[in-house]
Amino acid sequence: MDYEIMMNGNVQIGEKAPKFEADSTMGKVSLEDYAGKWLVFFSHPGDFTPVCTTEIIAFSKASPHFGKLHTNLLGLSVDSNSSHLAWLYDIYCKTGVRVSFPIISDRNGEIARKYGMMANSISKTETVRNVYIIDGEGVVRVILIYPMNIGRCIPEILRILEALQTAEKNGASTPANWVPEQPVIIPSPKIFSELLERPKENSWYLQYQNPQKEIK
């Protein structure tokens, strides 16, 4: 692999997420630890910063909802593990919120560059607000990138995650502005006989059905 691509990230949807092993606030973690589970892997620019603090609190409060979707959370920044621990302790002391997921210390930026978490035109030493949704097979399913000054919308990340799982379970797609329990779009016909089976009052290429509720 080209060194420049490797160091500046070339992660794309549908590809295997790059493997890593690193220190975190909960000990050593690696991508293999999450095999068979969904993972929301996200980066933040720095500890003890206002927007990042609100995000960590929001992710922590939403962690039970991620758990219901069989999804783990994993954070990362280029700050030290000691800094992470001090920051999380400060959050706990000030708010009572205990962060229940690990935050990786990526001091040399190796993981951040593999994943493309650094925008060199903005900063060569801090990560922007990337989000990677990775499925149980280790495949990257969604990539979101936010600028440093805009906090992430955690409910939207949850909505995307449930849309992915619902679409996969039903062999379907989700329409614009879809929210959980709304109808999904079934695949268009591939052969003429299937087309004739579609109700004439609906567009032959666009038809909805109610999704199965159980998600595994």
List CB contacts of 199: < 8 A, sequence separation 6 or more: 207
Q: What dihedral do alpha carbons 151, 142, 3, 109 form, nearest 10°?
A: 30
The bridge status of strand 71-77 relative to strand 103-105 is parallel
Phi, psi of 184 (to 5 degrees): -110, 165
Active site residue 93: no
The C-alpha atoms of residue 193 and residue 39 are separated, in whole angstroms, by 41
CA atoms within 13 A on the CB side of 155: 4
The catalytic position among 17, 40, 52, 111 is 52
Question: What is the secondary structure of 89-139 as a DSSP string?
Answer: HHHHHHH-PPP-S-EEE-TT-HHHHHHT---TTT-SSS--EEEEEE-TTSB
Measured from the Cβ of residue 21, the count of other Cβ atoms closer than 10 Å reads 12
Active site residues: 52
